[in-house]
Structures are given as C-alpha cells and as structure tokens.
Amino acid sequence: MIKKLLATAFILACLAGCKEKAQESVWFPGALNPLTFTDIPDNDIIRVGEDYYMVSTTMFFCPGAPIMHSKDLVHWRIVSYIYDCLEDDDIYNLRDGKNAYGAGQWATSLRYNDGVYYALFVANDQKKSYLYKTTDIVNGPWERTVFDDWFFHDPSLLFDGGRLWVVWGNGDLKLIELEPDGSAVKAGAEEKVILSAPSKGWGLRAEGAHLYHIGDYYYILEIDWPKKDIRQATCWRSRNIDGPYESKVVLKGTLDGRKRDGIAQGPFVDLPDGRWYAIQFQDHGAVGRIPTLQKVTWVDGWPIMGEGGVPEQNPEAPLPFNGENYVWDSDDFSTDTLALVWQWNHKAPEDWSLTERPGWFTLKAHPADGIASARGTLTQRTVGPRCTSETFVDGSALGIGDEAGICAFQSLSARIGVERAHDGSLSIIARHREKKVFEKPLEGTSAYLKIRFVFTPVEDGDKEDTAFLSYSEDGISWTEAPFTLEMKYTLDYFTGYRAALYCFGPGGGEASFDWFRQQAY
C-alpha cells in the first residue's frame, strides 16, 4: 500500500510538471516552441467552432492515427484513435517474418464537412488507401472505405462547393474528384497532374501536400528539400484548382541551434477572430519529428509563416492557455482499460490484462526471435530534451527462456530486463539489438528498471542522442549497466524512440508491471 501511495504521489507530481512544461519550454525557458518535445509528425488540423483537432502519423503502432484535441493550439490531448488495427493479417500479427516497420498509416488528411469528420491516408504495407468517417470524432464509430486500386501518397482532401477533391503525390502532384461522401472515386473522373516540380538539385520536391480554397485562390502547402540545404515550406497558388500554379517559399529556417534540421510540412488553420497559425514539424534526431507553432501573416495573398518566413522560437500565443498536454504520461495501471498514451507495436495480443492482477499490467510471453518480432510490446513516446522511463517488474511467473523489461524501442534498440535461465534462476540482463551486453544474478524475483534518454544535453557531459540503462533491486540504490546506446533516427522504422514494456520468450510464462513512470527534465 505504501508503495502504491508513493507511486501515486510521484505520478501526480509528474502530471503537474507536464502542465507546467507545456507552458514553458524545458530547453528554452519562456519559449513556446517546441509545442511538445515528442514525435508528432505529418500532422493535419481542423477547427470546428472553438475546438481544434489534430491527427498524426503513427505508422505501425496500434491503435493508430491518434486524434488530439486542443482549445488553444498549444496544449494537445489524445482523445481517441481512428482505428484499432488496419488489418488482422500476417503483417500486423508479426507472423512469418512480416511486419509494417517504416510503413503503416502515413500522413492522414483530416477534414470536417456538414457534421461529418473525414480522414484519408495510405498504408504502405497494404499498398492501398483508407478513408474513415464519423459524426463523433471522440467516440466514433468510424466507417471505413478502402480504395484498393488507389495509392494516395500524402493526400489532402478539399470540400469545395459541394464537390470533394483529393490531391496527392510528390514531385508530381495529382488531383482527382471523389464522390461527395468520399465513398469512391467519382464515376468518370480522371486523375490530372496539376503541379510538376523539377527535381534537379533537390532531394525532395512537393511532398506532404495540404490543399485549401481561401478567398480567390487555391493553395497547396508542401515541403521541399534542396540538396545540401534544409527543408523548407513552399506554397503554390492558383485561381483554378487544376492550375496553373505559381509558388513561393513561405518558411525556411531552423530552431534550437540545429543547423541541419529545417522546419516544414504541416497545415495552417484559422482562428475564430480571423488570424491564422500553422503547425510545422522539425526533425530533431532520435526523439523524432517534433511540432512547432508558427503564426501566419498574409502578404500579397501569400501565407508567410513565422517572422517574415523565418521560424520563431517564441511566437505570440494564439489564445489564452487552456488545458494541458497528454501525449505521453506515467501510469499506475489502476484502471481496467489502457490509457490513450499507450500504443502496441503492431496488433495487440489477446492475452494481456489489467484485471487479472488488479493494479498491475500483466503480459504473456510469446516465442520471438527478438524484440522486433515480439508480439505484445506496449509503447509510448519519449520526450525531450531529456527524460527517464522507469518501471517495476515482477518476473516470478516467467518461464524458462522468457524475458521481460523495458526497451528503448527503435530499429537500433537496447533494453534492460529480467530473464529466467535454463536452470530456473533469474538474472538482470541488458541487450543491444539482441546481443547480451550485461548480466547479473537477481536475488529476488522482481526489479526496478530505468532508461535515461538524453536527446539534447545541457552542460552535463552526456552526448546527444544517448540512452543509459539502469537497475535496482530495492528502488533506492541504482546501478547503471556498463553500456551506452547511441540512438539514431532510422528510416527503416521512421519513428522517434519510444519506451516499451515487453515480455517474450519460449517458456510461455508471464510478467507483471506495477507502474510506469516517465518524467522530462
């Protein structure tokens, strides 16, 4: 009971810290950006009255396509997901060597029209597009339409005068009309290339499109990336939806002293009083792609972002602060449903529980070659500039060869946990990409485990994008494993590092986690 009370007090303190952090950047005190120092890429935003809703890419994690709500464009709270799992197939069940790493749900377009919310995205693993719609964005249900023969890469929907359009692609941006309810491509419609951006001298052209009709112009906001330079936001405009279009760079620059990491890709949105703001993400190393808020000033009919097209660290807040961030959190597992900050690596298994042992998260072990193929790995975002992720695991019910613990989850992963050997003994072990780098006999059956993530060091001697693994048998005295993970944002996973609770192995046992604590510092 004392341990539970202490854990609850710790979590409440973390929540209070989260609220304070949302209003004052840890890295730049008093600055508004980054909005939340965590992986929220490819976002799209709509305003419905005085409510703002944002969706983001979460690739292969399930449930997928998180819906976040805000009242002030600064504080964002996960309120729902669009789907539980895209398909119940070998890919999402991690069978026969198949997976959706680096694929899954990409760059969702979110729109609202006549009381209905629409979300359109591609799934690279399925090689097709999905459109979901609902009248209740928080509670659902979502009705699904599958476009088997259409691959709408980075799509953007536009409701315009009773017609529904989608623009998509990269380099060449294409346009086609859908049925007004989004149920199919409109009968007789033909795709048309409306914008062709020359690629010579560019690493990336005209990707991540966002299509709008504002006043007399159609606008396409997208990302360009010149070779040997940083990404930039480019806007195209035309008085006709099918062109011709003219272009202008509307944002180029970086923040946080990161000379190579430009800021671009994302939407803009109007406020009820007529002002405009944009959320554009910045590549930020191993933590992922983080959102920044930039004001929009209309200059000669062009939406210029930031301060004259240069990103701002501390723009004027759009609205009075309202709410707090909830895209990562601590958890004492005291409810019978998972908190919305959690996502499974691929499809959720059936044999996990929050009620089998009340107050604990219990996870069954399945055979796997390693963490990448292990079913039942539960993840959530890490947070910069630095954070600690900690848990307490009971390994008494592990079978022979089973392992359970906490992982710094990405392609180049490392983890620390408890493992049962063939002689029945338990050990604290650490692994880097399946290679055991540390082992120590465990006197009891449970252990405290912690990963310290350093994404941006501050005069502490730590190297950028490093993680440190620690363990304790009493929760007081901690020992750091003699191994340091050099974290890298790799495109084979295409996500920032996550903290993950796992249990897998051939023994068919189980592990129970009493709590999970995450704190930014």
User: How do the pLDDT tens digits run along the chain, 521 residues long?
Assistant: 334 444 444 444 443 444 333 445 666 777 899 999 999 999 999 999 999 999 999 999 999 999 999 999 999 999 999 999 999 999 999 999 999 999 999 999 999 999 999 999 999 999 999 999 999 999 999 999 999 999 999 999 999 999 999 999 999 999 999 999 999 999 999 999 999 987 787 888 999 999 999 999 999 999 999 998 999 999 999 999 999 999 999 999 999 888 899 999 999 999 999 999 999 999 999 999 999 999 999 999 999 999 999 999 999 999 999 999 999 999 999 999 999 999 999 999 999 999 999 999 999 999 999 999 999 999 999 999 999 999 999 999 999 999 999 999 999 999 999 999 999 999 999 999 999 999 999 999 999 999 999 998 766 678 999 999 999 999 999 999 999 999 999 999 999 999 999 999 999 999 999 999 999 99
CB distance 91 to 98 below 8 Å: yes
Shared-domain flag, residues 347 and 301: no
Rounded to an integer, what distance in angstroms lies between the CA atom of residue 213 and that of residue 192? 18
**DSSP assignment of 3-16, as one string?**
HHHHHHHHHHHHHH
Shared-domain flag, residues 135 and 217: yes
Whether this model's pTM surpasses 0.85: yes
Shared-domain flag, residues 225 and 82: yes
- 315 domain residue, yes or no: no
| Domain CATH for 246 | 2.115.10.20
Shared-domain flag, residues 381 and 264: no
- 7 domain residue, yes or no: no
- 56 domain residue, yes or no: yes
Domain boundary among 305, 325, 351: 305
Shared-domain flag, residues 360 and 499: yes
- 154 domain residue, yes or no: yes
In sequence order, what E strands does 253-364 have? 263-264, 268-270, 276-283, 289-299, 302-305, 343-345, 352-353, 361-364
Shared-domain flag, residues 172 and 272: yes
Domain span at 228: 31-305
Shared-domain flag, residues 295 and 359: no
In sequence order, what E strands does 22-138 have? 44-48, 51-55, 61-62, 64-70, 77-83, 105-113, 116-123, 128-134
Rounded to an integer, what distance in angstroms lies between the CA atom of residue 88 and that of residue 410? 23
- 388 domain residue, yes or no: yes
Backbone region of residue 333 per phi and psi (left: phi > 0; alpha: psi in -120 to 50; beta: other values): left
β-bridge partners, 48: 51
- 243 domain residue, yes or no: yes
Name residue 302's amino acid: W
- 337: Cβ contacts below 8 Å, ≥ 6 apart: 354
What is the domain count for the chain? 2
Shared-domain flag, residues 300 and 357: no
Shared-domain flag, residues 92 and 218: yes
| Domain CATH for 428 | 2.60.120.200
- Token pair, residue 17, equals 């810290």
- 509 domain residue, yes or no: yes
